[in-house]
Each structure stands twice: as C-alpha cells, then as structure tokens.
Amino acid sequence: MKSSAVTKNPITRAQILARARESFARQAWADTYSTLLAADGTAPLEAEDLQSLAVVAQLTGKETESGEFLARAHQGFLGKGEPLPAARCAFWLGFVAQFNGEMAQASGWLARARRLLEGQGECVELGYLLLPEAIRMVVGGEADKGHKSFVQAAKIAKSFGDRDLWTLALNGQGRALIRKGEISRGVTLLDEAMVAVMAGEVSPLVAGGIYCSVIESCRETFDFRRAQEWTAALTAWCASQPDLAPYRGACLLHRAEIMQMTGAWPDAFVEARRAHEQLLQEKPKPVIGSVSYFLAELHRLRGEFAQAEKAYRQAEQWQSMPKPGLALLRLVQGEVEGASAAIQRVMVEVQECGARARALDAYVERRSSKSSRCVCGNRSNAKRYCRGARSGR
C-alpha cells in the first residue's frame, strides 16, 4: 500500500480577518496587530480593516505606523467615494498630530477633513472637527468660547448617538469650566465622563485620553483625593491590557506626582525616571516636557542643582508656557535679580488658575529671598525640607 501524506487545509484570508476581529474584541492588541499585518502582507487590507490596524498600532506604541495605516484608510475611503469616513480618518490624523505638537501636519489634515465635509449636510464628523479648535481656545485663554464649542459638539454627538464624541465633548466642557473658575461644575462633568469610560462605553483610544485629561485636571485644581482615585483606576486599566503602550508613561508620571505629594520622594523619583524612559521609547511628544520638568523639580528640592538645570533645559524644548522652576533654582544659587525678572515674567504670562497658583508660590518665595531659607528654597519649613533633601525624601 502506498502511504499518503495528510495535508491540512490552509487558513483562508477570511479566517485570518475573523481571528483579528475576535482578538480586537478581546483587547488582545498585539495579536490583533500581528494578524492584521500578516493579512495586509498577502493582499492590501480594505479601508475598514486598515482603520482597525491603525488603532492597534497606536495602542501598542507604533505611532508612526499607525499614521501610515490611517492615511491608507483615508485614501481607501476616498477611492470608494465615501467622504465621511475619509474625513473621520483625516480628523484623527490631525488631532493626534496636534497633540504631538506637529502643528503644520495637524492644520493640513484638519483642513482636508473640513473640505471633504463641504456640502455633506449634518453629520457627526462636524462635531469631531469642533474639538481641536475648542481645545486651542481653552489652552489659549479663551475658555468661554471653547466651552461653547464643546457644548455644540456634545449636541451633535447626542443627535447621532456617538459615545466617543459625547464623552470627549463632556470632558472638554469640564476642563473649560475649570479654566473659567467654575471648578465644582467642571469637576462634576469630568466625573460623568469618567463614568462612561469605566462603563466601557467608549473606544480604547478615547478612554486612555480621558483618563489622562481628568487626572491632569485634578492636578490643576489641587484635588489630591480625586487624583489618587483616578490614577489608581488608570493603573488598573493599563494592567488589564498588557499590550497597551501609549498611556503607561503618563500613568507613571501621575503616580510619581501623587507619591511626591505624600512625601515619598525616593519612590516618586523612581517612577518619574521610569516614565521618562517609557516615553523616550515612543514617538516624542510634549508630555516628555512635563516629565522632564517634574524630574527637574525633584532634583531642585533634593539640592541636586546640576541635574535640575539639565532637566529644566530638556523641559523647555517642549514647553512654551513659562514655569517658575528654573527661576527658583537661580534664586537658591544666589542669582536674585535674574530670578526675580523670570518670576515676574511668569506672573504676567500665566493666567490659568492651577499654574498661576504655582507661580504665586514662586513669587512669594522670591519676595522672601532675604529671609532664612534652606537649599531647596523653602523658608517656612526649612528644617523639614533640608532633612528631606539630605535623606532623599
């Protein structure tokens, strides 16, 4: 008798794509990415699958590749004569570029999205396009105008039943109200946005962004209890998705800030260093400036002035808004006139309430510069801070 080899039926492309979609539903991002990438290698993916590939690439820290896949999806939708999903792709390309400080690219993609929506009538994509300008207005000191745009975006989201847009708009309203000084109302809206996130009502990319935004607002309002609560939730959310990359650096930074506030300086320093290392593995973005500034502050408070200077300089490469840290360093180094001029500039330019409170602290420190003071620049608790600097706390 002749022996015959048993051959297995090859896995079809449809089965590969079905596996990728099942992995996506399980939030197995690495498996989804490798499966979709393999399918794309055999034959170009359709625009819808390219969108999914772009999302999982972003979630696994492959931001450059994510942009490339999303641009291909955009072209794919254009080729099929579908302007609305093409405009949605263009929006996300512009929105992410704005977040990363790539303003020319952001402007180009957002302009393309607007052009594609001309003559399309009412659509949810118009609501998404309100977000970048609303954020720009709030950050630029026009919180009232920004708030109105976020309210309009929320109305559009409700009309079309889009939970992602609704939650982003709700978060934006809360941040705008806080900038207007209506902190209680703003915090209530932020908590409501977080309920939607924790209930799993929004996409993973939106969820991570909302987590970080809400925790940042807690720092802005010096709401330590909420910051601690939401940071714990963000940590758990990241831990539930081992393949998740973009939010781990920000998560570590928030944890470090809470540790510093509770007096655990050595632990805060370790977490901040981990955050810095994590972010350097990703595509450079402005949050690196926040981590560098935080490290600089810790170095300054510990009396490590050379390291503080280096970290402040690194932070300046990413931060356009002046901050008082370097001026306080100059103050404890005896350069009182230069420090005074720098702090005066901060006082003039910084108007946002949380940042201004920190600036006022620096202003008081400068005014008290002739009084008894420890190396970290703190006059009122000199003994405690000096002991902390020597012991590394």
Output the six-digit token pair for 325. 């840290």
What one-letter code names the amino acid at 271? E
pLDDT of residue 193: 96
Q: Average pLDDT of 212-233?
A: 88
Provide the mean pLDDT of the chain.
Answer: 84
Angstrom distance (rounded) from CA 219 to CA 227: 7
- pLDDT, tens digit, for every residue of 238-290? 888 888 887 777 778 888 888 888 788 888 888 888 888 888 776 667 778 88
Q: C-alpha angle with apex 290: 287 to 294, nearest 5 degrees?
A: 145
Alpha helices in the chain (DSSP H): 13-25, 29-42, 47-59, 63-79, 83-99, 103-117, 124-139, 143-160, 163-179, 183-198, 204-220, 224-239, 248-261, 265-280, 287-301, 305-316, 325-332, 336-349, 353-367, 382-391
Report the 10 Å Cβ neighbour count for 79: 10
| Greatest CA separation for the chain | 103
**Across 50-64, average pLDDT:** 93
Rounded Cα distance, 157 and 148, in Å: 14
What is the set of domains in the chain, with CATH numbers? 10-121 (1.25.40.10), 124-237 (1.25.40.10)
| DSSP-derived secondary structure letter, 180 | T
342 has pLDDT over 90: no
pTM for the full model? Answer: 0.80
Tens of pLDDT, residue by residue over 172-210, are 999 999 999 999 999 999 999 999 999 999 999 999 999
- Residue 118, token pair as written in the block: 């001309």
**Quick check: 371 and 384 in contact, CB under 8 A?**
no
pLDDT score recorded for residue 337: 72
Which pLDDT belongs to residue 379?
39
Secondary structure letter of residue 77 according to DSSP: H
Q: Which long-range contacts (CB under 8 A, 24 or more apart) does 228-233 make?
A: 228/258, 230/194, 231/255, 231/258, 233/194, 233/198
- The C-alpha torsion from 299 through 302 and 305 to 309, rounded to 10°, is 20
* Half-sphere CA count of 61, side-chain side, radius 13 A: 17
Structure-token pair, residue 389: 């600097």
